[in-house]
Amino acid sequence: MEGTFILIMGPSGSGKGTLLSHIRKRFSEEAEVVFPVSCTTRAIRPGEKDGETYYFISREEFNERINNDEFLEWAEYGGNLYGTLKSEIMSPLKDDLVVVREVEVQGVRSILSIFPRPNLHLVYVDAGEWSDFEKRIKSRAPIEDKELKERQERYKDELSFREKADEVISNRDGELGEAKKRMEKIVSSKLSDRVQRES
Ligand code: 5GP
């Protein structure tokens, strides 16, 4: 296997989705950069298209796909199932392409344990301390203490991957422009590694 899997992670609200959308637009003309589609059982949101970021499927179909061993990893998050498809990730990697995807922390843990490390480039999006997140969460909507505690536990778990990441992108308040540029550089540098391998 030759290609590179750029795996983006970070606490929910860190802006990893925004960075991924940016990269998707920026590299839309590059056939060598692939954005694999995952499966999820969550409801489709306004503005989303089936088959773009997700295949929206039933729990029944998701379970069938688990039994057929179609997932590289899968996890339950917020009461819904999410899973990366082997076909969407392994085929482009065999073709020496650059694959970019974000997943939540359980997915990162699974992928790190099964994936050849030289082909993986883990990017952690750092949007600040827990106290910053707490402020942001509380300002958005009322939240029960229990849920806040759960969010904090997850934040700690996510944070433990910061030191395992190949790259940390800082995306604190006011840093989005710089974070987008850093993300572009990561993808560009993986593309040029590829060109060098070929020559
Ligand atoms: P959302 O429902 O907001 O699109 O995503 C919720 C969470 O699921 C995000 O943290 C996102 O990174 C994660 N996620 C999206 N696709 C996958 C996947 O294929 N596997 C795993 N484990 N998590 C995913």
User: pLDDT tens across 2-27, in order?
Assistant: 899 999 999 988 999 999 999 999 99
> Given a cut of 80, is residue 1 above it in pLDDT?
no
Mean pLDDT of 151-169: 95
CA 197 to ligand 1 centroid distance, Å: 32
Could you tell me the pLDDT band of residue 137, with boundaries at 50, 70 and 90? confident
> Given a cut of 90, is residue 195 above it in pLDDT?
no
Q: Which of 103, 110, 112 to mutate to test the pocket of ligand 1 (most atoms within 8 A of CB)?
A: 103
Alpha carbons 19 and 45: distance in angstroms, whole number? 19
Nearest to 124 by CA among 76, 174, 164: 164
Residue 194: its pLDDT value, please?
81
User: pLDDT tens across 79-126, in order?
Assistant: 999 999 999 999 999 999 999 999 999 999 999 999 988 899 999 999
- Cα 83–Cα 3–Cα 171 angle in degrees, nearest 5: 65
Q: Which atom of ligand 1 is nearest to the CA of 106?
A: 22
Quote the pTM value: 0.94
Q: Is the CB of 83 under 6 A from ligand 1?
A: yes
Could you tell me the pLDDT band of residue 138, with boundaries at 50, 70 and 90? confident
Residue 120 forms beta bridges with which residues? 5
Judge whether 49 and 164 are in contact, CB under 8 Å.
Answer: no
Q: Is the CB of 9 under 6 A from ligand 1?
A: no
For residues 38, 44, 48, 51, the Cα torsion angle rounded to the nearest 10 degrees is: 40
